[in-house]
Structure 1
Amino acid sequence: VVRTPDGTVHAMIGDVCGHGPDEAALGVELRIAWRALTLAGLCGDELLSTLQQVLEHERQSEEIFATLCTVDIAPDGRRAG
């Protein structure tokens, strides 16, 4: 979870397929990348396509994949996307 200076709360939940230390490390890398990209102001398709690039560069095998869901909640709590 990240709160940006405008007060928006951003959250991400995800999973990398597999059970080994490489997969766990990849999950951490993706979480850190998501946090940095969010704080840098990326969102939507731009954020997700950049995370895809991180995944493709860092994974040990093309069979490794990740699933994730993101949500952004406006400061007034009336909008989420």
Structure 2
Amino acid sequence: KMKILSLYKQLLRESGKFSSYNYRMYALRRIRDAFRDNQNLSDPAKIQNQIEFAVQNLTVLKRQTLVGQLYSTDKLVIEK
């Protein structure tokens, strides 16, 4: 349970690093929805599968936030 909560917080923290508002909000929404959809899982194999999937997504998020920071664009009007 604590590992899952820690992973959730890491994903949220990492998605907040996107320089683009649209990517940031999309990532936050997807993470929240995925964890909400899977919060009632009881099968340990399915839970472990989802944890592994989330860890893979965390590495993708880290890579994409880095790429997004390297090639950032001007801020949107909504961000100013």
Tell me if both proteins adopt one fold, taking TM over 0.5 as the criterion: no
Whichever structure has more strand as a proportion of its residues is 1
TM-score where L is the length of structure 1: 0.40
Whichever structure has more helix as a proportion of its residues is 2
TM-score where L is the length of structure 2: 0.41
Largest Rg, 1 or 2: 2
